[in-house]
Amino acid sequence: MVDFTLSCEFREYKKLTFVYSKSTTMNEEFEKQFLELQKKVGKIEKGTKDQLTMVVFSGDLDKQIAAMIISTGAAAFDMKVKLFFTFWATAALRDPKKKVGGKNFLGKMFGMMLPKGAGKLKLSKMHMMGMGASMIKGLMKKKKVASLPEMFKTAGELGVEINVCEMSMDLMGFKPEELIDYPHMKICGVATFLADAAESKVQMFI
């Protein structure tokens, strides 16, 4: 009877020892994985900056306003902001006071069909042949919200960088001489955007 009791207790002891050993191994494995993950996160954080990189693709008034509100807001909080204007968005950067010659037929057609400057952009919805855009602009003025051209000016003062897609400029026949006078603007390719995005904590597309 005593031998049987001791045998049972020994088996229970072995079982508990196995469970404890297995639990210890699992904890060690979990700790190992956690440390590896911590190292990877650390590397990512070291490789990124407190920077916002945004693709501005849309040429719609409301979306451009949203892009500039986010950009100036981020810059006001000391974030580095880099905007990559491409395709339809580039029309917002045209200066209505500037006239440029030497364009080919397609360049002239794009110039006629696309808005000439931020003040000529259409709404993405409820444009109503220009009435919608006029209503939004009037409401913004009434509420003392800066207009889109004024937002561009503020962005320049805050150091927001604008990179304009070189390929989009070529396709639409736009020339650097017809763009607005912006203090932090350059024409570049997609490689510049990718390099900026790779080191940014925040990436956006509008």
pLDDT recorded at residue 161: 98
Collect all residues with Cβ–Cβ distance below 8 Å to 115 and sequence separation of at least 6: 59, 91, 92, 94, 121, 122
Model confidence, pTM: 0.76
Tell me the pLDDT of the chain (206 aa) as tens digits: 444 444 555 455 455 455 555 556 656 776 777 677 666 655 555 557 899 999 999 999 999 999 999 999 999 999 999 999 999 999 999 999 998 888 888 888 888 899 999 999 999 998 888 888 999 999 999 999 999 999 999 999 999 999 999 999 999 999 999 999 999 999 999 999 999 999 999 999 99
List the Cα angle 136/142/146 in 5-degree steps.
70
pLDDT recorded at residue 101: 85
Residues in the chain: 206
pLDDT recorded at residue 140: 92
